[in-house]
Amino acid sequence: MSDLLQGLSKEEREKARATSMPDWVDPMLAKLTHSYFSSEDWIFEQKLDGERVIAYVEPDGEVRLMSRNKKHINDSYPEIEEGLAQQALAGCILDGEVVALDADNVSDFQKLQPRMQASSRQESEESGVKVYYYIFDCMYIAGHDITACALLSRKELLKAGVDWHDPLRWTSHRNKDGLDYYREACQKGWEGLIAKLVLSPYIHGRSGNWLKFKCRMQQEFVICGFTDPEGKRVGFGALLLGFYRGSDLVYAGKVGTGFDDKTLEDLHEQLEPLERATSPYDKGEPEKKGVHFVAPEMVCEVAFAEWTADDRLRHPRYKGLRRDKDPRDVHKEDESERADL
């Protein structure tokens, strides 16, 4: 057994399974709750507004950065690749979030867009957007699958397995005081918190052992069309949004704010080849005047105030495109991820 694992209790060491490093592991996903709480059985971390990245540091030191839908994204974050190669133990799999920070040091998904949408490594490096990799879990290290180990044991191994200097950052947490931390998070303008059960293993999929405490409503939507621009507006007026309920694509309204001129023009250029004559919606329809439907192939992130009774968004604001989510996996978060506590 590796010296690294000797620091764990006998019970936790027995949970670590000696095996070759896998090529892929499905990430653990949190469920949404509106029942906020404090508990000594849980820890509470900042919910970061960036791109989820699984980092594979191979035994030979090669680094693979992968999105949650298995896209290879090293070219978007070359400094993260270099940092992991120099600062992480070879032969490990790490879980975290790549973020860009605003002037108040708050993670900002919109600010990350030039990195996520860059077409080459050079474009990423020349974007001027500084990024950090906040790492919060470890699934494999020192020749062992540690997903069966308790969360705090995995964090102990993670802390020991990385030399913590920028652009790699430790994701700090608080014990017990979830409610006070949640109020503080909302006051600071964070997206929210993630509550994690201390004794939980790493589950490959969505689990109630991780819970989202959201300060603001924000989620992914399928882009299903756009409207004509009016006045001096360029590109388009608003995006038509949707989500899946079962196999049905449901209309969720329009978003027309959160765009600058360059985003309007770039998005319009990407959407034009996807235009189709008929509506992609199975339930609900926008007014047809000035509407252009598109094949439901692109996903974007939208912040909003609340849902209406008829599945429409109130006061939506565009945040950016997502490349890490299949359109068919976009559901109304309250329905698909809600945890009953």
Residues marked active site are found at: 47
DSSP state of 70: S
Choose among 216, 193, 206, 228: nearest CA to 306: 216
CA 263/CA 286 separation, integer angstroms: 23
Beta strands in the chain (DSSP E): 17-18, 29-33, 39-46, 51-57, 63-66, 92-99, 132-141, 144-145, 168-170, 173-176, 192-197, 206-214, 217-227, 239-245, 248-255, 275-276, 291-304, 306-307, 313-314, 317-322
Runs of H (alpha helix) within 41-135: 78-87, 109-116, 121-125
- Helices H, strands E: what count in the chain? 8, 20
